[in-house]
Structure 1
Amino acid sequence: MQTILTQAFSASLIRSLSRATVAITLSLALSSTAAPLAAQGLFSPAVTVDSSVITHYELQQRARFMNVLRTPGNPEIMARKELIKDRLKQAELARVGISPSEEEITAGMTELAGRANLSLNEFLTVLKDNGVDPETLRDFTEVGIGWREYIGGRFLSRARPTEVEIDRAMGQAGSGGVQVLLSELIVPINEQNAQQVQNLTDQVGEITSFAAFSTAATQYSASDSRNNGGRLPWMNLTKLPPQLQPIVLALDPGEITEPLPLQGAVAMFQMRGVREVVGSNQKYSAIEYAAYYLPGGRSPETLAQGQKIADSIDSCDDLYGIAKDQDPSILDRQSLVPAEIPQDIAIELAKLDDNEISLNLTRNQGQTLMLLMLCGRTAELGEGESRETVANALTHQRLTSLAESFLEQLRADALIVEK
């Protein structure tokens, strides 16, 4: 497991290191930032994270260091983001009393240099030639080692997959390369309208044409797809909830499913087409999503509020800032195997790509609107992998996700002021 934690610490930053890349001169890039930094004062505060200060000098040093590592993105922008993360990590490490020893730090720096096929002294020389002080490498390594130890101790037991999960992940990816073209009708149901909904679904079940189903979806469906007559785009079969896949595959074009019970609604699907594609559809061992709850149900005001939030965020992590200082139950983030996801949520997630949002679902008998966001899907690994390899990969994926989510919680709770 130490190997897993080491990979989580270093892989994303050092995969592009080589003797050639670290030797590239950065004088042009560095000279472009020297004047404004000098004008601002190298050691003046650029950012404060609670009571901790990040200086312009530290930003300059980290940007140069990231240039040497060939880290993707704008070095100045990425340096600011990464140093803020480091301050959050350092505060948490100080709180729990984790402090790597000098031997551990030296070993970490040596390992990083070795990834570029350099000795530590050679690596320090390359850094010096590019204007990077040894303390910058030391600080970077110290935070990384401490955070790795902390994340392992806090989350490793939760990240380890069960034997059943390993078995599932080792199954063959794909489902014959099947895609389906569906139309949907989703109708809210409660005690007051149960009979009306039954009458409606009975009538819809007798429909034999695509046009009639589309008309019914436009008139009665609560899903946003009603604006397109309930028509959904081509979709990989494996994106649908596992329990829905055999039901859909049994349909001929034009046929409609029986009403499927969801939480606070019923759903019906009409098959418009089936096709095979080259290769296979990817299966997923886990799907991560976030649900943020808004009182007011599907009232125009609440829907407008939900849309405003949706327009203001880019990822699930941004929801921690939206939910800051509110009851923890208002935000629910889950990473579940597809079969464990509630069916109404699973159906909505099937329509979404990473970081897309749905405002179609409610809870509390329609009184609470759910802002549902897909955080990501974890692909199943193919056959031919050893159990140890699969287990390590799953553990690494989960550790990374848990660590990133926890760091976003720390960010949401911190007072960050950028000068």
Structure 2
Amino acid sequence: MFKLKPALLAAACVAALAGPALAQNMFAPAAIVNDTVVTEFEVEQRIRFLKILNARGSTRKAAIESLINERLRGEAIAEAGLRPTEEGINEALEEFASRANLTRAEFTAALARAGVEKETFRDFVINGTTWRDLIRARFGNRVTISEAEIDRALSAQSSGSSNIRVLVSEIIIPAPPQQAARVASIAEQISDSKSANEFSNYARQYSATASRGAGGRLPWQALSDLPPSLQPLILSLSPNEVTEPLNIPNAVALFQLRDIEETGKPAKTYAAIEYAAYYMAGGRSPETLQQAANLKAQVDVCDDLYAFAKGQPESVLDRETLPPSKIPQDFAIELSKLDEGEVSTALTRADGQALVFLMMCGKTAEQNAEVSREDVAGSIRQRRLSGLADSLLAELRADARISIK
């Protein structure tokens, strides 16, 4: 549930009365996606809409990225011939408004007072709802959940049951846009690995993680420490099997299960993970990697990063406290390997031009709740569909002509 912010509503109303210069430029292109234009008006509307919802990602950059993704989703939806019914649209709009404890009419009126057009609200909801319909139609038959998977997931989630721990090897290959096709081909080849040694040889050759020198081999770790989206994928593997390539920002990830066992220790779960991400210009260049190594030697806790970010734009340092399921997948993968105060430099942003100095700040433990088999199966299914949706969107982006003004 979200709450409308009264102060932002008032501020938005004032902004809506801005001078004619804004009106003259509101239909200027902010981005071009294939043959369609994302206008400055749409960007301004999206920023205002998200701020009113008190949602994350209400910056101009995030708004443009969100609208680009919606254009790509819309093209895929149109190509599939999906057209939502008016009844379905109305239900989705009512459901969204109910999250703020308002009716659709009340919610639309509140947005209008803040200068947000009803079409902005309608397009946002329709795109999300129809995209989910497309993912279910396209991938639903490919996602099957076995009874054994449910048993293992219940075992891992039950606080009174034995914990499951796994031996996993990893490969994360940097894939900036100009190298995406080549990396995809390499990743497909790696996914056919038949032995731990073969996978490790690939890790030493291609991986960007700290485990590269060890052939990507990670020590035993609790299954519950892995990102929620990764847990069912690992559970579905037999020893020496490899996941399908997973598309993450500017990279492709693969994981191999080497061994799995139950222990007598209760499983640990976490309600929230706190982390900091400091973005360093230069990507994975030798100079930037050396700067990151120097920084790593100078910081012990996340608070230390503020001194290094001082005087730079606020966007160079993010500090978040999120439930594990809400953390970006690539961040979650790296954080699962870190203890408090430890650092990863395996990831990039900005098409590979910014190195992510990712630091674990802390974890908040949580006692697992009782869950039904249906809930577990539904959770596994949703995670897999979400992963497939992310992969499809990444493919659409890789194939698209995108220009940001």
- When normalised by structure 1's length, the TM-score is 0.49
2:55 aligns with none
Would you say 1:342 and 2:328 are equivalent positions?
yes
Identity %: 51
Would you say 1:212 and 2:198 are equivalent positions?
yes
Runs ≥4 in structure 1, deviation > 6 angstroms? Answer: none
SS of alignment partner, residue 255 of structure 1: coil
1:155-183 Cα offsets, whole Å, 9 max, x none, are: xxxxxxxxxxxxxxxx9547740111011
Would you say 1:197 and 2:183 are equivalent positions?
yes
2:313 aligns with 327
1:358 to 1:174, Cα distance in 2 relative to 1, 3 A? farther
Conserved 8 A contact 2:173-2:183: yes
1:25 aligns with none
1:13-60 Cα offsets, whole Å, 9 max, x none, are: xxxxxxxxxxxxxxxxxxxxxxxxxxxxxxxxxxxxxxxxxxxxxxxx
Conserved 8 A contact 1:363-1:369: yes
Conserved 8 A contact 1:178-1:280: no
SS of alignment partner, residue 243 of structure 1: coil
Query: Residue 303 of structure 2 is aligned with which of 296, 309, 317?
Result: 317
Structure 2 matches for 1:11-410, cutoff 5 A?
173=159, 176-381=162-367
By how many angstroms is 1:190 displaced?
3.0
SS of alignment partner, residue 181 of structure 1: strand
SS of alignment partner, residue 257 of structure 2: strand
1:207 to 1:175, Cα distance in 2 relative to 1, 3 A? farther
Q: How many residue pairs were aligned?
A: 214
Q: What amino acid maps onto 1:369 in structure 2? A: L
Conserved 8 A contact 2:279-2:317: yes
By how many angstroms is 1:267 displaced?
0.6
1:216-268 Cα offsets, whole Å, 9 max, x none, are: 11001111211110111111111111111011011110000000111111111
Q: What amino acid maps onto 1:271 in structure 2? A: L
Conserved 8 A contact 1:214-1:231: yes
1:104 aligns with none
1:381 to 1:326, Cα distance in 2 relative to 1, 3 A? same
By how many angstroms is 1:382 displaced?
5.6
By how many angstroms is 1:195 displaced?
2.2
By how many angstroms is 1:359 displaced?
0.9
What is the alpha-carbon distance in structure 2 between the residues aligned to residue 324 and residue 192 of structure 1? 33
Q: What amino acid maps onto 1:236 in structure 2? A: A
Q: Which runs of 5+ in 1 are unaligned?
A: 1-170, 385-419
1:174 to 1:247, Cα distance in 2 relative to 1, 3 A? farther
Q: What amino acid maps onto 1:304 in structure 2? A: Q
Conserved 8 A contact 2:273-2:321: yes
1:175 to 1:252, Cα distance in 2 relative to 1, 3 A? farther
SS of alignment partner, residue 253 of structure 2: strand
Q: Which runs of 5+ in 2 are unaligned?
A: 1-156, 371-405
Q: What amino acid maps onto 2:179 in structure 1? A: N
2:150 aligns with none
Structure 2 matches for 1:406-417, cutoff 5 A?
none
Greater shift, 375-384 or 349-358, is seen at 375-384
1:70 aligns with none
Give 1 or 2 for the bigger CA radius of gyration.
1
Conserved 8 A contact 1:241-1:347: yes
Q: CA RMSD in A?
A: 1.7
Conserved 8 A contact 2:280-2:357: yes
- When normalised by structure 2's length, the TM-score is 0.51
By how many angstroms is 1:326 displaced?
1.8
What is the alpha-carbon distance in structure 1 between the residues aligned to residue 195 and residue 175 of structure 2? 25
